[in-house]
Amino acid sequence: MNPADELRTAAQTLRTLATEAASGSGSNRWRTKRHFPNQPGSTFTSLLTESGTPLMGGGGRNRVPYLHAPVADYIAAMHPGVGTALAAWLESWTGIEMYEAHALPEDARHALAVARQINGSAP
């Protein structure tokens, strides 16, 4: 597989997983809710849709909590290695301030669009 095919395949995989996860959860944006935020060592967090619907179900005494499959598949695909690679790609575009806003290269516009999604500032 050549590099262009690898990029297309990865993009299609992420796009498919994201679409299925959004459809399965009923929301295109998710958030976390930190439990016991005043306790510095607390790591208890809930994963919710933007409207507050929990994305994890079950759990409790002798029951393992679960996620709906499309949501779990998407979370697994966006593992820390993906985050590190995306961060490196975004950092590679940190010199874009040398361009006028209307003259940004197309790749820089894509990087900026990703950054805005991550930052929650996308239109």
Q: What is the pLDDT of residues 48-82, one digit of tens each?
A: 888 888 888 777 787 777 888 888 889 989 988 89
Q: Give the predicted TM-score (pTM) of the model.
A: 0.72
Choosing from 24, 46, 69, the residue where a domain stops is: 69
Measured distance CA(4)–CA(7) in Å, rounded: 5
> Does residue 101 register a pLDDT over 70?
no
Q: How many CB atoms lie within 10 A of CB 111?
A: 20
> Does residue 19 register a pLDDT over 70?
yes
How many domains does one find in the chain?
2
Instruction: Specify whether 11 is located in the same domain as 37.
Output: yes
- Range(s) of the domain holding residue 123: 79-123
> Does residue 90 register a pLDDT over 80?
yes
Instruction: Specify whether 53 is located in the same domain as 17.
Output: yes
> Does residue 32 register a pLDDT over 70?
yes
pLDDT of residue 56: 82
Residue 74 lies in a domain: no
Instruction: Specify whether 96 is located in the same domain as 53.
Output: no
Number of H helices, E strands in the chain: 4, 4
Q: Write the DSSP symbol of residue 31.
A: E
Instruction: Specify whether 91 is located in the same domain as 56.
Output: no
Task: Note the helical H segments in the chain.
Answer: 3-25, 69-77, 80-91, 106-119
With pLDDT > 90 as the criterion, what percentage of the chain qualifies?
11
